[in-house]
């Protein structure tokens, strides 16, 4: 995900960031009232909510600062995400979790335990998040899921994101899978 690019993330995420109306530098608006970031000591719920806002326009600095605060308060944020947000259907909350994951190596290890969650949405979110950071520890779980016929679309997508020879071999072994809406 970056400026002037198109990306696909997980099963449902696709984005495109392009500049539609390019203005000359002297025509650009610079008087945008920036939204205030949350206080450093604000409740974790408020900080996460700010970190999960749309990161555009006047909210860019607010969202980035909230994500910095999340990392600084990782000991409080980790359990909050694990207990309340890992099964979120919100793409913005997913992005906040992804940003936290990329800044917290310890969190990456902690969410690996949730790949086998009985909550299928949590499991699929974890698969996508870990594939996004190319966590090769995910491979054995993906192999198990493919052999069981579970989370097929998520597993195939994750294998593509892992960009590894082992993932390619695993994907090749399952190239004739037929997916259905209930299997994904």
* 44-73 pLDDT tens trace: 999 999 999 999 988 999 999 999 999 999
Q: How many C-beta atoms surround the C-beta of residue 62 within 10 A?
A: 18
The confidence score (pLDDT) of residue 15 equals 79
pTM of the model: 0.77
Distance CA(104)–CA(182), nearest Å, equals: 33
Provide the phi-psi class of 170: left if phi over 0, else alpha when psi is between -120 and 50, else beta.
Answer: alpha
Asked whether residue 153 is domain-assigned, the answer is no
Q: What is the model's pLDDT at position 87?
A: 96
Domain span at 85: 5-135
The answer to whether residue 117 sits within a structural domain is: yes
Residue 147 lies in a domain: no
Residue 20 has pLDDT above 80, yes or no: no
Does some domain include residue 146?
no
pLDDT digits over 121-162, tens only?
A: 999 999 999 999 999 999 999 999 998 989 988 998 899 888
pLDDT at 182 > cutoff 60: no
Give the number of domains in the chain. 1
Contact call for residues 19 and 43 (beta carbons, < 8 A): no
Tokens of 70: 């999340």
Q: Is residue 167 part of a domain?
A: no
């Amino acid at each position: 995900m970056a400026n002037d690019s198109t990306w696909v993330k997980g099963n449902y995420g696709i984005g495109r960031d392009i500049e539609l109306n390019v203005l000359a530098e002297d025509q650009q608006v610079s008087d945008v009232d920036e939204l205030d970031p949350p206080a450093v000591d604000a409740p974790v719920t408020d900080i996460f909510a700010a970190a999960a806002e749309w990161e555009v326009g006047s909210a860019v600095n607010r969202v980035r600062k909230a994500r910095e605060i999340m990392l600084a308060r990782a000991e409080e944020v980790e359990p909050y995400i694990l207990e309340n947000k890992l099964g979120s259907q919100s793409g913005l909350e997913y992005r906040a979790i992804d940003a936290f994951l990329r800044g917290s190596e310890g969190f990456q290890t902690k969410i690996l335990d949730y790949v086998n969650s009985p909550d299928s949405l949590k499991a699929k979110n974890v698969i996508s998040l870990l594939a996004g950071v190319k966590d090769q520890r995910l491979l054995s779980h993906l192999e198990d899921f493919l052999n069981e016929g579970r989370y097929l679309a998520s597993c195939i997508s994750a294998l593509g994101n892992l960009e590894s020879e082992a993932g390619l071999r695993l994907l090749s072994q399952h190239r004739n899978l037929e997916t259905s809406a209930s299997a994904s």
